[in-house]
Structure formats: structure tokens, C-alpha cells
A and B are shown apart, each in its own frame.
Chain A
């Protein structure tokens, strides 16, 4: 069982804003940064957000990250069909001295 908890699935319609939650603890999200990844089947995972709210160059500003206490959230605005994918959060866990991933959330664009 993952130390970071994500909803198995979320859905939205084109143009809508959706948010994916990631719940952790004081040893990971509450103390360290969070990163978010988009993973399309057959492709390498792609970094969307690092250090909780930083976007790498080339990632559209439709994607944004935030944290509050021991939870993090990835928001996607102006939803597009190509956003349909699996999304994973990850955080460094100070107690384990290891990265931990959430179980992943499948986003469906209706």
C-alpha cells in the first residue's frame, strides 16, 4: 500500500478544471517537496511539477501544483482530450530516506 494516497480515477469535460489530490504524512509531503508526473501508456513518464509548484520549461501553465500541510494537489485547467492519462505524485520521505509514489490517478476526459 502506497504511503501517498491518490484517488484511483477522476474525470472532467473539455475546458473544465480538475484537481488530483495526494495525501501523505509529516514524514513526506509535510516536510519535503512533491513532484507530479504524467504517464501515458507506452511512453516514458513526464515531469509536470517539481518542488511542489515549479513547472519545468515546456510544461503548459494549465498545470499547477500546490501543497497544504500533508496534502498536495495537481490542478489541470482548460482540460483537453490529450490530458487523458495516468498521473502520479511523489515525495521524498525523510523517515525512510526514500522517494515514495502515490498509487496513480487515471484521468478521463469525457
Chain B
């Protein structure tokens, strides 16, 4: 049974860089689309972007200039970097997985529990 665990600093300073890791256990990251999704307090879900090993990532146009998503099969990890953060980036951040061998249209089948990020000086 694949499990996803997000981790990273819970507190980031304004204008700083947010760096999160999603560690995958139970299967390889190869063959799946991997997404980062966030939920600001009291608000809805927002897709940040996705990664498929061997392909080019896609990003939410509203975040594209500040976001990088990558994967390391040797560590079975996904990473998210977001630069120039503001208080609007404070949110619960999730990593999520698509279907094995599927397309980017298959949705988000398995989710991690999420990690909360606060932006404050």
C-alpha cells in the first residue's frame, strides 16, 4: 500500500523560499503523475502543479513564475520549491498521486496527510 508523507519547515519568512518534500513508500514514483495541491485556511483546494518522471512539469499559471516541482527516483521523493512567498502562500500543502501508467487526466487517487506552512517574520 503506497503511502505519501509531506515534510518541511512549518514556518517560512515573507519573501523567503518554501521547500517541501513528499516521501513515497510502498512503490516507486516512476509511472505516476505527482501533484502538489494546497488549501489556505478557510478556503478551497488549489492545484500547484504536477510532475511525471521523464516528462516536463506543468504548473498553475498563477504560480508558474515562483514554483519548481521535481522528483528523485533514487530517494523516491517529490519536492516543491516556491520562491518569494507571501502570507497568501500560507496553507496546508498536499502531495497526491495519479493512476499507474495513466494520464494527467485521471485525477488524484492517493493523497498525503498534508503539511501546514505558515508565512511570518
Which residues of A come within 8 Å of B, CB atoms? 2, 32-33, 35, 37, 39, 43-47, 50-51, 56, 88, 90, 92, 96-104
Contacts and interface: CB of A to CB of B under 8 A. Distances in A.
B109 A101 contact: no
A98 B58 contact: yes
Interface string B2-25: 000000000000000000000000
Interface stretch (B71-79, B80-88, B99-107): B99-107
A45 B111 contact: yes
A21 to B, nearest CB: 16
Given A96-B61, A98-B59, A98-B60, A47 B47 contact: no
Contact of B104 (A44, A46, A92): A92
Given A45-B45, A96-B60, 11 more contacts: A33-B105, A33-B106, A37-B45, A39-B45, A45-B96, A45-B108, A47-B109, A50-B99, A56-B109, A101-B45, A102-B44
Contacts of B52: none
Nearest to A35: B107
Given A32-B105, A45-B108, A50-B109, A98 B114 contact: no
Contact of B47 (A46, A99, A103): A99
Interface of B: 35, 44-47, 49-50, 58-61, 94, 96, 99, 104-109, 111-114
Contact of B61 (A50, A98, A102): A98
Given A97-B58, A101-B45, A44 B94 contact: yes
A81 B96 CA distance: 27
9 contacts: A35-B106, A35-B108, A44-B94, A46-B111, A90-B45, A92-B104, A100-B47, A102-B44, A103-B44
B44 A2 contact: yes
Given A101-B46, A101-B47, A47 B108 contact: yes
A99 B108 CA distance: 10
Contact of A50 (B46, B59, B106): B106
